[in-house]
Structure 1
Amino acid sequence: MHRLACLGAALSLSIVAGQAMAEESKWSVRAGIAHVSPTNSASNTDAGPVEVGDGTNLGLNLRYAFAPQWSVDILGALPFEHDIRVAGSEVASTKHLPPTVSALYHFNIPGALDLFVGGGLNYTFFMDEQLDGANLSLEDSIGPAGIVGMTYALGPQWSMGADLRYIAIETDAKVNGTDIGSVDIDPWVFAATLGYHF
């Protein structure tokens, strides 16, 4: 019984120490799959209604906890590629990078599960626009972003997580230098990640 009590105490101490290390971890990096699903709200140009297809790629996050319930999250990713349809026909494609900075509020519920909400600012870079027989240009976009998510601690330094963001992205489209209208992409972005805390 004495040995069992000692073993139980040691296990309890190791769990408490692991939790303390996790609480002391100010920085974390996360990597995983991010899926961008545009809502294409109110997207209509001189050429007709525009729809932007989904895109999936590697998503990256850097997070810093500056208070017990607050952190700053920086979203990055490899470029997402999207097909563009005008009046139902696929006519073009583009790539974009959506760096987003958000302030997160953590509910700090007891246990390994962490729930959070937040908001911030997005800057979207468009690149490598392709349009058969013409020059397509999409202007960069600045807009607000919101996020809800969770992380689950797998140990003192590792966690897994998932989050859902809504990002307001509006771009002005030009063909051969002529403005043809604006495109409201406004995507939902879902990410599933593995995190390392240090």
Structure 2
Amino acid sequence: MHKFKLCASLFALALAAPLVHAHTAGDFIVRAGAITVNPEADSSSVKVDQGPLKGADLGGKATMSSDTQLGLNFAYMITNNLGIELLAASPFEHDVKLKGTALGAANGKLGTLKHLPPTLSLVYYPLDAKSAFQPYIGGGINYTWIYDEHVSSEAAANGFSNFKADNSWGLAWQIGADYMLTDNVMINAQVRYIDIDTTATVENNAVAPGTRAKVDVDVDPFIYMVGLGYKF
């Protein structure tokens, strides 16, 4: 009997949900929540590109840690089914590690870096505006600004310095869904894939004066966000 009452309650909620109006042309939507960047880093081997050892291939790979921050979305509905959206967030910080290089002192935590990933997307909502459940897909362009790079204390003790990483432009894709709790308040979940490519360099004058090594990294993270939204 209790299970029957629960099923009946859920069925009643499902019937009532479409009465809540979702997104229509001219709406402005703000979403906020926890956002995690999980790099799927695939890198080249580490190579010496400056100094007396130029051309040496040290082998190995670079990896990056994940991080969770405050995520923000700002969206404007151009039509009932099409919107434009900007992704923003508080700065992410990642550990960068090297492993398997021929230069044993280079293995381990090389350093840390911070980045901001503003992403502008065109988003399509396939369902009718009266539906409380609003799945969507989108695609757009990302600019990843990398800054505040610095070597770890362990790497500095082994002579490493001047750690740098290039900024990146790339395509971004997303799927997500809003569920309207009221005419204005919603819960949201989304998953993104962003093409982020960077080249990182680091110097080591302890090995030989003027020595610099570089590694090309396809960061290509999956990004997950869960939060609340408000429609104006």
In the superposition, the TM-score normalised over structure 2's length comes to: 0.73
1:113 partner letter: F
Taking structure 1 as reference, are residues 44 and 158 closer, same or farther at Cα in structure 2, changes over 3 Å only?
farther
- Name whichever of 178-187 and 165-174 sits farther off: 178-187
Return the structure number with greater strand share: 1
1:37 partner letter: N
Note if contact 2:43-2:215 (Cα within 8 Å) is conserved in structure 1: no
Residue identity over aligned pairs, in percent, reads 35
- Distance, in Å, in 2 between the alignment partners of 1:36 and 1:173 is 19
Deviation at 1:179, TM superposition (A): 5.6
2:143 partner letter: Y
Report the aligned-residue RMSD: 1.9
Q: Does residue 120 of the first structure (1) align with residue 140 of the second (2)?
A: yes
Counterpart of 1:103 (choices 118, 122, 144) is 122
Mapping 1:1-198, distance limit 5 Å:
19=21, 23=24, 26-46=27-47, 48-87=60-99, 89-109=108-128, 111-131=131-151, 132-133=155-156, 134-176=161-203, 178=212, 180-198=214-232
Deviation at 1:25, TM superposition (A): 5.6
Taking structure 1 as reference, are residues 42 and 153 closer, same or farther at Cα in structure 2, changes over 3 Å only?
same
Which string of whole-angstrom CA distances, capped at 9 and with x for unpartnered residues, describes residues 103-127 of structure 1? 0110115631001011000000011
- Distance, in Å, in 2 between the alignment partners of 1:38 and 1:156 is 36
- Distance, in Å, in 2 between the alignment partners of 1:23 and 1:155 is 14
Larger Rg over CA atoms: 2
1:56 partner letter: T
Structure 1: 4+ residue segments shifted above 6 A: none
Name the SS for the 2:42 alignment partner: coil
Taking structure 1 as reference, are residues 128 and 50 closer, same or farther at Cα in structure 2, changes over 3 Å only?
same
Note if contact 2:88-2:118 (Cα within 8 Å) is conserved in structure 1: yes
- Distance, in Å, in 2 between the alignment partners of 1:167 and 1:116 is 17
Structure 2 runs not aligned, ≥5 long: 1-17, 48-57, 100-106, 204-209
- Distance, in Å, in 2 between the alignment partners of 1:93 and 1:80 is 10
Structure 1 runs not aligned, ≥5 long: 1-14
Which string of whole-angstrom CA distances, capped at 9 and with x for unpartnered residues, describes residues 31-81 of structure 1? 100000000124433252000010110000100000111001100000001
Aligned residues between the structures: 182
In the superposition, the TM-score normalised over structure 1's length comes to: 0.85
